[in-house]
Structure 1
Amino acid sequence: METIQLVHPAKKHEAAVLDYIEEHFSNGENFLHGSSLLTEMESYDAWLEHLAKQSDKTSVSSDWVVSTTLLAIRKNDQKILGTIDIRHELNDFLQAFGGHIGCGVRPSERRKGYATEILRLGLAYCQTLGLEKVMVACYKENSPSAQMIQKNGGVLEREFTHVDGKMVQVYWINL
């Protein structure tokens, strides 16, 4: 597997991010995990502004928590492989379902070990925030996500049925 790095999104990544979005859409995926509303913003610049607000305790929306969204980029060709959203704390909603981390991998790069590496790098980032353990959740039917979490030390705490009728698994990872 090629070496990857997590980087803060910047204007210079715009074309690569738009390509990342298009690949998901071309595969019938309209929701990008771990991207902090990327596809819901009216422009790339608006998304960058949103991320800046999300990372600042004084400007984050009252129903959200401070978070950092990063791009996972393959070093040799600078291709965006995925995104990861790291929440610095949990509110009631995130404690019940979402957890500290959401991440996604572009369709053409799945099943190559990148998600496991992206989560590993994200957990290292969580340590820099002073977190001692993190919560990560996934749908039970999404066995690749469960395997990614388990490979990074995730211990299943509970399962529950979400409002969409799907079974959710909640894991904790000690850092």
Structure 2
Amino acid sequence: MASEITYAEVKFKNESKTSGANPGSPAEKMWGCCPEHWMDSNTSCYFIPAESKTWTDSKKKCTEMGAHLLVINSREEQQFISKTLKKYTAYYVGLSDLERKNHWQWIDQSPYDENAVSWHSGEPNDSNEHCVLLNYRNSNQDGVWGLNDANCEIPQSSICETMKLYL
């Protein structure tokens, strides 16, 4: 079954065709949009599918929508996403060690930077867990969101990410 992404139509009246920015410069990218029903940030769009699936099926679902599982590029991005999530739900992200070599790899092949993400204390901790979840832990009355290595075959929620379109 094919999935379709719908972008909201955006029209601007009485807008100048030139913004004074150099063509192709970031300043020229003044109007960004995400597919309908997706959350948006500065450069990305995020979607949480309704069904819980295994990591592999979550990856497939995101791909069918023209996206990929969430790739966290900074602690700020992880914090932004965490603010929109349900505390007692775990979400697959696009980080895994599917080759079982204790080498974490992002789904889009971008370099893994352990300083860009926040793992829960003591994680990763199981050589039999090769996929990664973003989940909430309530410890010492201070709840925190963090990454946790997990069994890839247990159905969980997931977060899909795609690039924001600029007009």
**Larger RCO: 1 or 2 (CA < 8 Å, sep 6+):** 2
TM range (shorter): 0.3 to 0.5
